[in-house]
Every structure is written in structure tokens, then in C-alpha cells.
Structure 1
Amino acid sequence: MVAPPVAPGQPAAGTPPARRRRDVRGTLSRIALAAVGGGLVFLSFPPRTAWWLAPIGFAVLGVLLHGRRMRAGFGLGVAWGLGFMVPLLRWTGEFVGLVAWLPLALFCAVMIGLGTAFMARVSTLPGGPLWMASLWVADELLRGVFPFGGFPWGRIAFGQPEGWYLPLAAVGGAPLIGFAVALTGFGLAHLGRDWRLGLPLVVLPLAGGLAATPLVGTAPDRGTVVVAAIQGNVPRAGLDFNAQRRAVLDNHVKRTLELAEDVARGREEQPDLVIWPENSSDIDPFRNTDAAAEIDRAAAAIKAPIAVGAVVVDKSDNLPRNTVVLWEPGRGATDTYTKRQLQPFGETMPFRSFFRIFSATVDRAGVFQPGTDPKGFAMGPARVAVDTCYEVAFDSVVRDSVTAGADIIAIPTNNATFGFTEMTYQQLAMSRVRAVEHGKAVVVAATSGVSAIVQPDGSVTRRTGLFTPDALVSELPLRGEATLATRLGAWPEWVMTALGLLAVALSLTVKRRGSRPTPGAGIGEEETDGGPAGAA
């Protein structure tokens, strides 16, 4: 009797146990290699400057995904995502432990796995690396909006504030950087199969970054402005909640008064405007006259308007807003900006009643209300876009504040809760990418660091240390010219996403056609799934 045919990649009947064990070991090896690839991408992120590790991490992913079935692509993508996200998001568990850190990392990894499942499906199409890179953009787009308004932390562009890819931000924003890095990596993976296609896919994204360099504008077409960023620092443990809040305000007043003394003695240039961090006054200055008097004293001493990060309780509903208040010498509060993109599980608590079933600690999350107006402040000669802390991670939020007429960007932030973790460096990298994306200088003011002065080309000219009071004073260009990325907005991201999804549709169509029996075929001939041999 002739033995029945065996599907490629499947063990034959009677395969000895040792053979099966080797298959298990091969699966475990691929999973481990995937995790290593994700780890390489993590190592490309700040505070390290090894930006070139990111495409290598994608090359590992590309090798593993090629020709695999979708379920295998999902599993390998989750492993790769865990290798990337678990160390990257370590800061989320600094004070609340594993309960926030590991579930969030796992969720992000699963979202990546959804994307890699489709990448595996399109990997054998002609030009596979192009479609895979487009699907990476689609995956980042999904993670940026779902769930709870999205969590875009870990976008590949935010690990590229150094190196050859950064100038691409001025052309197509953060999505184009992510596409270029992924394409380089998937092109590297393709070299061994077809160097004629793989080599251009490696070279073109890198060359594109270099070619985009002249598009990164730095000329002060609206003049210049002298800016001061104040980092007052936070007190140590041992004070009750109200005393902590007052100490933070006092620290920022004190450091501003010290800067005013330095200006009076000629040691620092007179600033045209001053940026204080988010939560520099958690005491509502509209309800607390003592807080208002202290801010008044600082503004009068420095002789410049101050953007004060404050918690303000609105009279309409008695609910708090994360607000930046424009405080002018001799006039007091003259304008406000309310944070629009709130942080879930911090400033807000989605499905609070449901999660309360599992833990009463959910009530520690705030009930902050979002703002709606993207318009920033007129401060001296500058029109300042304000994007508070978490907002800098969202493309549309930053773009809306810039297109409201800004010629400089301020990022007031409070990273004190995350201690000495890498979170503040990751966020600074986002600010550097935004500077190039919109062609504006960026002022980062943090309560405890790292505060920084970022030029329109993404370079950092001044920065503070962690948990130390400081003041950064610098003359910066005011730029009204809009970059191509600012003008195009989300269009590059939508186009790349559409291309990736069209490739998926094509691959699934090919699969369905391949699964239909050939007319007149003999009885007993097997249908295929249209996938490559040994894809399981």
C-alpha cells in the first residue's frame, strides 16, 4: 500500500518523539529570537542613541514572519512586542507596581501581534516588505486611537531623535519615520531572498532621510524670542498632600526669583516669556489668594509673562481641569489653555464602576475634564502652542495647536511620579521629533526634569538634570513657515495604511482563489490554503 501524501512542513505518520521535540525546540527558538528582535528596538530608544538598532530589530521580525501563517505571525508578533514593550514601559509601574506595567505591555504586544499576523499574510506578495511596512503604520495608527483614546507610546519615530531618519518628520511626520525604519528592516530581511529588491528597500529609506535634511527649516522668519524654562523641582517624602502642593509652587516661585536676580546682575539675558511646568501650581490660583499672590510676585520680579501649569476647578461643574494659565505682570491671569488629551487611568478612569469591582484604588484616578480649544498664548513677540505632557505623543493634538497660529511650542510636563526611570527621556525624544515635524523650536519645562531647549532641527542646546532646580534661558527662532508635514497632516499615514490594507485584501483574495478546486480535478486531490509550503 502506498502511504498517503504528507503536507509540506507536517510530521509524517510514525515520526519518532525526538523529531517532534525538535519541532518544539524550533518553535521556542523562534519565539526567543522574536523577543530579542523586539529588545533591539527597545535598545534603540532614548536615553540611548543607538537609533540604528531599530531596523535590525525589524529585520529579525521580517525573517521570522516570511511565509508564516497568520496565527504564527500573531504569536511571533506578540513575543516581539513583549521584548519591546515590557522594558520600554517599565516606568508605568514605578509607583503602582506590576498591576499597571505588565498588563499594559501585554496589551500593546497583542496589538502588535494583530498587525504582524497580517504582515505574515502579505510577506510573500511581490514587494512584500513595502506592504509589511505599510501595515506597521496601520498598526501604530490603531494603537494611537484604541482603546480609551489610544496609547501611542512606543511609536518607532519616538526612538529616532538622532540619526538619518529624523529629517523625514518634516515631510510626513512621525508615521513616515516609522514606515522608513520598518521598510529598512524588512528590506534587510529580504536581501537573502532577492537582493535586487531588498537592496533598494534598504538604501532608499536611508537616502530619503538624508535627502529630506534641506527641508528641515530653522530660519527665524518671524524674528527671535528669549525664553526661560523653570524647573523648580519637587519636595521629598514626608509632607502631607497639601504641603506637597504648596512646596512645589514655592519651589517654582523661588527659582524664578533667583533667575530675576541673575538677570538684574547681568548673568542671564532678560526673558521675553517664561514657561513653568505642568502642576507647578496644583493649588488653584483662582480660588487661593495666597497662590495668586506668589505667582504675581514671581511675574513682577521676572518682568515677563509666565505660563503656569495649574489645577483649576471650574465653577460650572466643580470639576478639575489640567490648565495652563497665562499670568502677566501687573495684570494677573489673562488667558487659559486646558489640556485636551487626558491620560486614562491617571487623570481619568474609564469604566470606573466596573474596575472598582476588582480594586478600590481606581478612585485614586482623577475626574479631570478635557479642554477643546487648541489655541495657545500670545506671549511677548511669540505665539506659543501649548501641548501639555501626554499630549505631545498625539499627532493631531500637536498639529492643531501649531496650525492655530503658533511660531514656537511649549511642552509643560510633570514626570516626578516616574522617578529616575527612562520616561522623561522618551518624552523628550517626542518633543525633538515634533520640533522637526513642524519646524518650530520647542521648550520643555518639567517639574523635576528633564527640561530642555530644542531647536527646530531637533537638536538639544540646553537641558537640566533630574530632580534639581534649574532655569534654562535661550534665544530661539520664531518660525511661521509650515512644513510639508504640517500642511499634509494625517494624509501620509492614511495613504500608507490604505496600501497595507489593500495588500491584505489582495492576499486574502489570492488565498480564496487558491482554495477553490480546479474544474475537472480528480477526486481526492487536496485543496490548498494558498499559503507557502511549510508556513505553519
Structure 2
Amino acid sequence: MLLRTSLALVAGLTLSLAFEPLALPIVMPFAVAAFFLSTRGLRARSAWIPGLGFGVAFYFTHISWMRDSIGPDAWVALATIESLFYAVLGSVTAALHRRRLWALWMAPAWVTMEVVRSGWPFSGMPWGRLAFGVVDTPAAPALPYVGSVGVSLLVALVSSLLAWVVVARGREQRVAGGASVAVLALTLLPALTPYDVEETGQATVAAVQGNLPGPADNILFDSQQVTDNHVQATIDLADQIAAGAQPEVDFVLWPENSTASDPFGNAAVNAGIRSASAAIGVPILVGAIVDAGPDHVLNQGIVWDPVTGAGERYTKRHPVPYGEYIPLRDYLDGTFGKLALIPRDMLSGSRKTPLEIAGISVADAICFDIAYDDGLYDQVSRGAELLTVQTSNASFIFTDQIDQQFAMTRLRAIEAGRWLVVASPNGISGVISPEGEVVATADPRTQAVLVEQVGLSSDITLAVRLGPWVGRSSAVLTGVGLLLGLLAYRRSRHSPAPGGVLDENPEDEVLP
């Protein structure tokens, strides 16, 4: 067990290298294959140990940025919870190893684990999904075909077949090698036949990065000045357009927390938005914290028209538990530690239709929303022509989190076959093509305005059409595999052993 757990620990650390800051995706299939091998031959009731070792090594390293930005207590708590999912996966894969074609059962089990932990408990934590590491690899063009969940499935399948090559012998090893090459070729085939998304129009969009006064990692240090920075940057852009130094824009994108005070209750904030809107003469998608009664707030993107004022709104669908709301608040001391910084809970949004901004259908996402599949899938499938992301990564500005999130943002552009514009108060802001290319970006911790012409499209990629069905199918397959194993085990316990004696220790319980 010590050797297996050591292998799992090394594999977990290796998998963390696939993501930012090092971003070495080549290690992914080897790390995941080593995980599968670490549970082979174990009983399910003990295979959770190397599974937990893998999870601890991977997840504590992968989200180490949380230790310094949010706090060591939150880092330990979240990483521990996520590590437990890999422990459960360890037991599941140990049971599935008993199947005849065990290598084909591993990938659906891995994906099922990723999907479950991405939505539970509370709103889940998608960070660390295999697909989030492929954006700069030849596997990225598969995203519009099968989606992020499908790409995770393909990477996990290549990994399990690689593990099969390691343990197989003779003719079986040749079969395993051939299967590995075939699946790898299937994964890379879209690089030769890129998904064709027809462009139906163009627009010019400005993304404003207003920057923060004082400490670069504290949006609340002077929230009024943050708003003023975005107002002034927008007015300056209007002056440049009037002078012919910049092209006219269709709309302006402000980031999340560009107004951290309710623009309907704070007169200074309201006046600032109206002055910026009047100067630029086109709608601004404002990022605002809006009061929702004495106990709740809303994190919203508000379409602010220069004539009619505030209009359509997108509300953040996935507030961060213990960061933006406190689950089980009635049972916790709200004055303990950093919980005291969350006096009101942020409510979740449920909008599924895109925003209409200057005649353009826009799918919006706010910060961590970009890590989840549902919001953008819903809006793109209902006609969104362009993607926007309003984010506020100020708390993480000195960490690797901003690079990890930006990689996910690029993935969403590829997956949906859409141009994507992202605005952040102090980084990372950028404009991304449907191929995942960063065509413009602003340096972190600076004030900048990105003005770019982007394409519009109404085509819906196969990935968006598939939606959650790849994950659901993986869950069904995993359940079937475990059920078949249980039935085989029960038959073996009730079948006469040689000499007419029931075999109390069936061979399939512990593999040699």
C-alpha cells in the first residue's frame, strides 16, 4: 500500500504541472494513467487511500493560490473536500478494474467524478478538470465537437489505455497499444478538420480595465475610486473617438465590481455611470453589486443605455460559497474569521437568454461562472452571437489563479465557436478569437481600454448541442459498470467452489 500511495502522490503532483503556472499538458495522460494503476488489484474498501493521496497532492497544489489570497483555512477546507472526490474515485476504479475491458470503464468514471464535484456540494468547484489544461494543445480543436466534458473523457480514455499497455502482455499489449493510438488519433483529428462556424456579422467592442487605487488586491479599499476610474477611462475613450484616434464602438464592457456599491442607491455611482454613458453614446454593460433587501445582494451585469438608462440584467449564476455567501449560515458564527466580511448572502441568478446590447445578442458570464458549463451553454443555444466575461480577480492578482481562469475563458471561446471579450478591474482583460487566440490583452495592474472588432455568429456548435449529455452518459456507464461488478461478485459468492464448497474468498475480490 505504501508503494501504491507513493505512486498516487507523485501522479497527483505531476498532474498539477499540466495547469498554470507551468502549463505542461503533456504530463496529463501519464499522471492519470499512474492514478489508475495505483488502484489496480486493491479491494474497493482500501483503494480510497491512494485515491486520497492523489487528490491531496493534486488539489492542494493546484489551488495553492487560495492560501495567500483568501486564507489558509479556506484553502485547506476546500482542497480537503475536493480531495475526497478522488478518494471515492479510487474505490470506484478498484471495483471497475475487475471488468474484462476495464480500461474502457475508467474514463467514464473519471468524468463522472469531475462532473459531480463541479456542482456539489453547494455550487461545487470545477477547477482542475482535465479539459482546462488543453487550450494550447492539438486537442483543443476537439472542444467545439465534444465540449469540455467530452475532451476530459478523451484524455482520460487515452490515459486508461496507456495504463492497459503497461500491465498487458503479448497480444493483449499490442491490442492495447493499437487502441491507444486510435483514440489519440481521434482526439487530434479535429486539428486537421477545424470546426467551421460561419460569421454572420461584426461589431466593435471596448473593454475597460480601470485599475484599482491603493492595494491592487482589494477592490473595497476605495470602491468609489474604482468606479471613477472606469468612468474616466470611458470618457477618455469617447474623446479619442471624437478625435478620430479610435473607431466608433457598438458597446462598452465594464468588469465585475466596477461598481461595488448599488448604482440605484448610491447617487455618486449613478451619476458617474450616467456621465460615462452620455459621453460614449452607446450602451455600457456595467458590473454592479445591487442590494436585494437587508440580507441579500446581487452580482449583476446591467445594460446601461445612454437614453433609457438601466435595462436588461444578467445575475451571476454561481456565487462562491464562503466567499460570496455562507451556506448553513444559521448554524455558523457569522462573526468568525473572514465570515464576518460576508454580512449578506449573494443570491444566484437563473437567466438563460442572452442580453440584447446595441442589437447584438450577448452571452454574459461573471467571474467563476466561466468555469461552469451551464450558463454559456444556455445562452448560446438561445441565440447568443458574442461572449462576454465580467470578472474581478483583484483578490488573486498576485497569484496563478488569474492565469488558470484566463485559460478557462479561452477554452469557452473555442468550445462555443464565438469571439469573447473579457474585462477585469486590473487584469486579465482581453479579446479572444473562436480559435482561442488572444488578439488583444492589457497588462495587469494598469489602466487600459481594448478596442477591437469582433465577429458575430449564430451557429451552434455540436458541443453546445450535446450540453450535459456527455457527463450524464458517463455517469450511467459508471453505474452500469459497478452494477455488473456487484452482480458478478454475488454470483461468485453463491457458486459452488471445487469440491462443492462455497468460495468465501472469490478470486475477483483481489487481483494478483
Matching of residue 31 in structure 1 with residue 5 in structure 2: yes
Structure ID, larger Rg? 1
Report the counterpart of residue 94 of structure 2 in structure 1: 120
Between 522-531 and 470-479, report the one with greater CA deviation.
522-531
- The alignment's TM-score, normalised by the length of structure 1, stands at 0.89
Equivalent residues of 2:219, 2:257 under 8 A apart: no
Query: 1:302 deviation in Å?
Result: 2.5
1:41 to 11, 15, 18: 15
Query: 1:138 deviation in Å?
Result: 0.8
1:146 to 97, 115, 120: 120
Query: 1:294 deviation in Å?
Result: 1.2
Equivalent residues of 2:216, 2:394 under 8 A apart: no
CA deviation vs aligned residue, 1:126-176 (integer Å, no higher than 9, x gap): 221221001011111210221112221211111211112222221221111
Query: 1:257 deviation in Å?
Result: 2.5
Report the counterpart of residue 196 of structure 2 in structure 1: 217
CA distance in 1, matches of 2:103, 2:511: 19
Matching of residue 469 in structure 1 with residue 447 in structure 2: yes
Unpaired runs of 5+ in structure 2? none
Distance 1:171 1:292, change over 3 A: same
Equivalent residues of 2:301, 2:313 under 8 A apart: yes
CA deviation vs aligned residue, 1:212-265 (integer Å, no higher than 9, x gap): 343523431x20111111111122249999761101111111222333333334
Read off the aligned partner of 1:472 and give its amino acid letter. L
2:340 to 363, 367, 379: 363
CA deviation vs aligned residue, 1:68-111 (integer Å, no higher than 9, x gap): 22133211111111121111111222244211101211111111
Matching of residue 183 in structure 1 with residue 157 in structure 2: yes
Distance 1:519 1:185, change over 3 A: closer
Equivalent residues of 1:218, 1:457 under 8 A apart: no
CA distance in 2, matches of 1:240, 1:527: 61
Query: 1:46 deviation in Å?
Result: 2.6
Matching of residue 274 in structure 1 with residue 248 in structure 2: no
Report the counterpart of residue 142 of structure 2 in structure 1: 168
Please show how residues 18-97 of structure 1 align to structure 2 within 5 Å: 27-97=1-71
CA distance in 2, matches of 1:358, 1:289: 30
Report the counterpart of residue 305 of structure 1 in structure 2: 283
CA distance in 2, matches of 1:242, 1:142: 34
CA distance in 1, matches of 2:56, 2:100: 29
Equivalent residues of 2:198, 2:459 under 8 A apart: no
Distance 1:88 1:256, change over 3 A: same
Report the counterpart of residue 135 of structure 1 in structure 2: 109
Report the counterpart of residue 286 of structure 1 in structure 2: 264
Note the aligned Cα RMSD (angstroms).
2.3
Report the counterpart of residue 325 of structure 2 in structure 1: 348
Read off the aligned partner of 1:331 and give its amino acid letter. T
Query: 1:32 deviation in Å?
Result: 2.3
Distance 1:403 1:517, change over 3 A: closer
Report the counterpart of residue 309 of structure 2 in structure 1: 332
CA distance in 2, matches of 1:479, 1:239: 36
Equivalent residues of 1:307, 1:324 under 8 A apart: yes
Query: 1:309 deviation in Å?
Result: 0.3
Distance 1:182 1:47, change over 3 A: same
Query: 1:438 deviation in Å?
Result: 1.5
Distance 1:240 1:134, change over 3 A: closer
Between 479-488 and 95-104, report the one with greater CA deviation.
95-104
CA deviation vs aligned residue, 1:12-31 (integer Å, no higher than 9, x gap): xxxxxxxxxxxxxxx33332
CA distance in 2, matches of 1:438, 1:246: 36
Matching of residue 514 in structure 1 with residue 488 in structure 2: no
SS of residue matched to 1:387: strand
CA distance in 2, matches of 1:399, 1:527: 49
Query: 1:337 deviation in Å?
Result: 1.8
Distance 1:47 1:260, change over 3 A: farther
Matching of residue 412 in structure 1 with residue 390 in structure 2: yes
CA distance in 1, matches of 2:482, 2:506: 18
The alignment-based identity, stated in percent, is 32
Equivalent residues of 2:149, 2:471 under 8 A apart: yes
Matching of residue 322 in structure 1 with residue 296 in structure 2: no
Equivalent residues of 1:319, 1:369 under 8 A apart: yes
Distance 1:293 1:191, change over 3 A: same
Query: 1:511 deviation in Å?
Result: 1.9
Query: 1:40 deviation in Å?
Result: 1.7
Distance 1:61 1:199, change over 3 A: same
Matching of residue 437 in structure 1 with residue 419 in structure 2: no
2:425 to 444, 447, 451: 447
Unpaired runs of 5+ in structure 1? 1-26
Distance 1:440 1:309, change over 3 A: same
Report the counterpart of residue 468 of structure 2 in structure 1: 490
CA distance in 2, matches of 1:278, 1:191: 48
SS of residue matched to 2:265: coil
